[in-house]
Amino acid sequence: QDDLVKAVDRIMRHADAKRRLGVRANADTPEDAARARRFGAQGIGLCRTEHMFLGERRQLVEDLVLASSDEERQAALDALEPLQKSDFIGIFQAMQGAPVTIRLIDPPLHEFLPDIVDLSVKVATGAATDKDRKLLTAVKRLHEQNPMLGLRGVRLGLIIPGLFAMQVRAIAQAAAEVPGARPEIMIPLVAAVQELESVREEAVKILADAGVDALIGTMIEVPRAALTAAQIAEAAEFFSFGTNDLTQMAWGFSRDDVEAAFFSRYLDLGIFGVSPFETLDREGVGRLMEIAVREGRQARPDLHLGICGEHGGDPDSVHFCHDVGLDYVSCSPFRIPVARLEAGRAALTETDSDTR
Ligand code: PEP
Ligand code: MG
């Protein structure tokens, strides 16, 4: 047993010495962050902040949705800010000075709003409170046929004034309290540079007021963002490829329905050998990535490039990420050893084609 552990350790150290790709983790809690460190993560590549708005905090999200004046909205945001600050303190502490990419909130709205059927039943049976009735009106107003292509990410940040600013302030305050903290702020679902510029301008002011340094970058997960990478790079210090959404939008397959009947039929027919949500589709999504890497780096030579979709932990996809010239991959903590090994293997096969 001891010999086996030592052998694995030797292989991992060999891979680490050879690899050019950094390996980060997708983690949203201090516990996950600590686990990621144990597996060898060099930072967090994706901290999904929407997960911090569930559970007991739903109440505050409802207040935000129901706010009917600037004052009410600000009160809801003010209540959320200290909670967010303590979330980020915990993660910065767990990461001990390693970079932490915090993605501003990107909720598919339907997952955060109360259930429309439950509310309707309450109203119909006379069991509804005043708040339930108001919520039902709000939920009906916000209802979308296709939430994954709806009011998410940067769109939500632009529609709800103060939402992103609250998160950036919480990040800045947390970073100021944890020595060595290295925050990176990531804007989701950007399709046009104008969206990014408007969020960036506000974030830069907040960070400067707090005296905190942080990179500001964007996810590249909408095909239009990949195709306009040169413009987007003017307003971003880093790109992180969100290949879950990029796959959905490049193929036109719903992420929520990957188990759809036609999917297995497509596998049977050999249209693809493996689901493009599992292994990166080099001909489509990969081409979009190549364009974005090339044009992004031309516009900004020091642009930092990573991936944080599920593909970041898939061996074949990690190999592609090495070939296309990314700086790092980010994946769930349990996939980190595989990503480290594959990144090492990709670097070795560059100089020794027999090892693959
Ligand atoms: C992605 O789209 O690849 C991504 C990492 O973001 P999410 O899965 O949270 O949409
Ligand atoms: Mg996404």
Rounded mean pLDDT, 65-87: 93
Closest CA relative to residue 225, chosen from 276, 189, 184, 185: 189
What's the 140 CA to ligand 1 centre distance in angstroms? Answer: 26
The answer to whether 4 touches 310, Cβ cutoff 8 Å, is: no
Distances in Å between the Cα of 233 and the Cα atoms of 212, 237, 245 are 22, 7, 19
What is the pLDDT of the chain when averaged over all its residues? 93
Q: What is the pLDDT of residues 19-52, one digit of tens each?
A: 999 999 999 999 999 999 999 999 999 999 998 9
What pTM, to 2 d.p., does this model score?
A: 0.94
Provide the pLDDT for residue 54: 85
Provide the pLDDT for residue 355: 42
Alpha carbon distance 161, 141 (integer Å):
18
Name the percent of the chain lying above pLDDT 70: 97
Query: Which residue ranges have their beta carbon within 6 Å of ligand 1?
Result: 46, 48, 106, 221, 242-245, 308-309
What's the 82 CA to ligand 1 centre distance in angstroms? Answer: 26
Determine whether the annotation assigns residue 48 to a binding site: yes
Catalytic (active-site) positions = 308
pLDDT-derived band at 260 (thresholds 50, 70, 90) equals: low
The answer to whether 16 touches 322, Cβ cutoff 8 Å, is: no
Determine which residue's CA is closest to atom 1 belonging to ligand 1: 242
Ligand lying nearest the CA atom of residue 189: 2
